Structure 1
């Protein structure tokens, strides 16, 4: 059975291991690159978990990280869903749905009226997951990617 764990800064080794696994397994799904995160020590990983107002979650199966997601406050009415990943062995088991739902619940508790995210073009499994949870393409331009494409921005109204 999958268990979700909300992380604190003391959980930085678990976050590091999950993040590095995600970047190694699915480099096409993230703007960040594995080489960018292999450097730096404990301080860097703690700082990522200590971002003000952030909500970081890891999905565990038999005490092994099989998924992750983050929620970050953007402004008074908007939160952002980031760093969503599910390991290949846990795909198709509802882990992605659990992660999106827990970040949405956190955003609602935070008083957000919108939850937004950016997805790499061509990542259709992610788009399908997000659309299943009520996200729609916003029509806004996302960040420019190294290949010249732009991230696709999606948003869900919470109220």
Structure 2
């Protein structure tokens, strides 16, 4: 069973755990590196959860299984920092996280960028109503109409 929970700065440890796992397990999918965050102090983790408006945790059978963030700028929402732990892939966690950002966006358009060679992620986003909206170097922008 997948359960979602909105994170606050008080949840910085679970966010840190999954974000570092993402940067270790799927470094190819992110612009930032493990080295940039590995030794970050507690305050930096808390600040990340403060600065970005929406941060959601997925739990699969009670275990932290994935994270996603969203931020709103000029009427557009950006989906950021999407990650699902290997044990939870194929169990609906990714779909639930993407839908959480789309619901939060309401009528606003949702944009994201994904490396163009990351086929599993693009498939997830397409399955949830995103369509290609441009190519920026190695990054594919995808849009959900809201």
Which category describes the TM-score, using the shorter chain as reference length?
over 0.9
Aligned residues: 146
Match of 1:31 in 2: 31
Partners of 1:60 and 1:135 in 2: how far apart? 24
1:123 aligns with 2:105: no
Measure how far apart 1:62 and its partner are: 4.0
Partners of 1:94 and 1:63 in 2: how far apart? 14
* Superposed structure 1 runs of 4+ greater than 3 Å apart: none
Match of 1:104 in 2: 102
Measure how far apart 1:140 and its partner are: 5.0
Match of 2:67 in 1: 68
- Structure 1 regions of 5+ residues with no counterpart? 142-148
Partners of 1:55 and 1:15 in 2: how far apart? 12
Native 8 Å contact 1:121 1:151 kept in 2: yes
Partners of 2:37 and 2:126 in 1: how far apart? 29
Partners of 2:2 and 2:129 in 1: how far apart? 23
Partners of 2:17 and 2:120 in 1: how far apart? 23
Q: Secondary structure at the match of 1:67?
A: strand
- The normalised TM-score by structure 1 is 0.86
Match of 1:156 in 2: 144
Specify whether residues 9 and 140 from structure 1 end up closer, same or farther in structure 2 by C-alpha distance, changes over 3 A only.
Answer: same
- Structure 2 regions of 5+ residues with no counterpart? none
Q: Secondary structure at the match of 1:32?
A: coil
Partners of 1:155 and 1:122 in 2: how far apart? 17
Partners of 1:95 and 1:40 in 2: how far apart? 27
Q: Map 1:14-53 to 2 at 5 A.
A: 14-51=14-51
Question: Aligned Cα RMSD in Å?
Answer: 1.3
